[in-house]
Amino acid sequence: MWVIAARELKSLFLSPLAWSILAAIQIVFGWFFAWLIYLFVRPDVQASLANDPNAPGLTAMVVSALFDWVGIVLLLVMPLLTMRLISEERHNKTLPLLLSAPISMTSIILGKFLGIMGFLMILIAMLSLMPLSLLIGGSLDFGQIAAGLLGLILFLGALASVGLYISTLSSHPTVAAVSTFATFFMLWMFKWAENAGSGNEIISYLAITNHYQSLLEGLFSTTDVIYYILFMALFLILSIQRLDSERFQ
């Protein structure tokens, strides 16, 4: 399992894709972060914050907003990362190497998943350095940051598991990427189902982005954490089943 994860991570960095994603995200969010800081220190904003007894602090205004956008942007980037996981192996006919080795399907899927999570961790670690730089001239609410990070990791894990599953369905990375995009948008759009009228609460409850908003605000709720864990487990199990069933076709 770890062998596959390590190879997956390594091969990501052997292609320019990983580097360009890291670079692009770093540039975009560097700029975005600077803009958030600028907004926070603007005299008029500071003045209105000073008058508001329930004013959001530095962490809420800068860090949470940053993580919120990181989630959305990665939702767009994720299909590019997950598309090749299984479909490329199938396309290059390298899947038999894994299937004929003495490892279980579960190890293959979990290895792939952990590999991509490893990459996301690197990405998140690099992005977290930005808010940490605020410590130079201010104080941060580490509890809220930790909750936000946990939320982000769980959210990305859930996205990655969906991407992995869709990748097991196809033998062309591009097809996998497009389908993953569509699925993510569906999951995202559930969020607005509420506005469509009553009775849609269930759909909006399923929206993948909703459960991580409260974590970003520093509200740690077990339901949200369990929602993401169940979500990941479901799609990982589906992926394993799918890969296993291929031998019977």
Partner 1 sequence: MNTDILVSIKNLSRFYGSLCAVNDISFEVTRGQILGFLGPNGAGKTTTMQIIAGTLSPTIGEISVAGYDLMDYPLKAKAEIGYLPEQPPLYKEMIVEDFLQFCAKLHHISRSKIKSHVDRVIEQCNLQKVTKRLINNLSKGYQQRVGIAQAVIHRPAVIILDEPTIGLDPIQVREIRNLIRNLSEEHSVIISTHILQEVQAICSHVQIINYGQLIFKDTIGNLFSQMQLTRLNLACHRPDADMQILTQIEGIEKVEQQDEHHFHIQYTINKNPAEAIVAKSVSENWGLYELIPENRSLEQIFVELTNEQFKPIKKIGD
Residues forming contacts to partner 1 in the complex (CB under 8 A) are 3-4, 7, 11, 14-15, 92-104, 247-249
- Residue 63: partners with Cβ closer than 8 Å, 6 or more residues away: 131, 134, 140, 144, 145, 148
Minimum distance, C-beta of residue 2 to partner 1, in the bound complex (Å): 9
| C-alpha closest to that of 72 among 158, 152, 167 | 152
Looking at the Cβ atoms of 15 and 133, the one nearer to partner 1 is 15
Minimum distance, C-beta of residue 141 to partner 1, in the bound complex (Å): 43
> In this structure, are residues 82 and 184 in contact, taking their beta carbons and an 8 Å threshold?
no
Looking at the Cβ atoms of 195 and 249, the one nearer to partner 1 is 249
Looking at the Cβ atoms of 195 and 248, the one nearer to partner 1 is 248
Minimum distance, C-beta of residue 50 to partner 1, in the bound complex (Å): 56
Looking at the Cβ atoms of 89 and 224, the one nearer to partner 1 is 89
Looking at the Cβ atoms of 197 and 247, the one nearer to partner 1 is 247
Minimum distance, C-beta of residue 94 to partner 1, in the bound complex (Å): 4
